[in-house]
Structure formats: C-alpha cells, structure tokens
Copies of this chain bind each other. A is one copy, B any other.
Amino acid sequence: MKVIIDLCVVPIGVGVSLGSYIAECERVFLKAGLKTQLHGYGTNIEGEWDEVMQAVKECHEVLHKMGVPRISSTLRVGTRIDREQTIDDKIRSVQDKLR
C-alpha cells in the first residue's frame, strides 16, 4: 500500500531551536531512500506504507538517542486505491486549477 504522509516532529524539553533535530530527521528519510519535500511546517514523504512508517519510527528513536526526552509529532496520512498519485501530482493538480 502506497502512502503520502506529512510529518511534523516537535522535540520537547530541548529549548526552542529545533532546526538541528529536524535536519536529523531529514537525514533518516534520505538514508531510507524515500522521496521527501521539506516545507515550512513539516515534510511530505511518499513511499510504501511500511518503509515510510519505519522511517517515522527511526526519527523518534534517533532524536531520543540525541537526548530529546519527549517528542510530539503530527502526521497526515493519505492512501487511495482508485488511482496512483504522487506528491508532485497533488501539487500540479491544484496549480493547474489556479491558472
């Protein structure tokens, strides 16, 4: 089952500068070979359900190993069986309609 998720990881208990933790998550996705797109309040990730969710788990594990005591992430998780659709397809679909 293919999935497109949008993930926002919020490390708690390590102050207000979170960029280095988010960068560490990006490295996890890169290493996993997943297609991602970083935006200003999270990251789009697409791939097979198990691989994508395994990478989300690794984000939590890596951050805890870096000393983050508590994490609260939010995910949007989209699946569909009517047709295949990528992150790029979704953006293009909206942009086409805006023209």
Q: Which residues of A contact B (CB under 8 A)?
A: 1, 4-6, 8, 10, 12-13, 15-16, 18-20, 22-23, 26-27, 37-42, 44, 46, 49-50, 53, 56-57, 60-61, 64, 69-82, 87-88, 90-91, 93-98
Q: Which residues of B contact A40 (CB under 8 A)?
A: 4, 6, 37, 44, 46, 87-88, 90-91
Q: How far is the CA of A38 from the CA of B39 in the complex (A)?
A: 9
Interface centre among A39, A46, A73, A82 (most CB of B within 10 A): A39
Question: In the complex the two chains form, is A38's CB within 8 Å of B88's CB?
Answer: no
Of the A-B pairs whose beta carbons lie under 8 Å apart in the complex, a sample of 20, sorted by A's number, is A6-B6, A6-B39, A6-B40, A6-B42, A8-B72, A23-B98, A27-B98, A39-B39, A40-B46, A40-B91, A41-B76, A49-B57, A50-B57, A60-B77, A64-B79, A70-B80, A72-B76, A72-B78, A73-B76, A74-B77
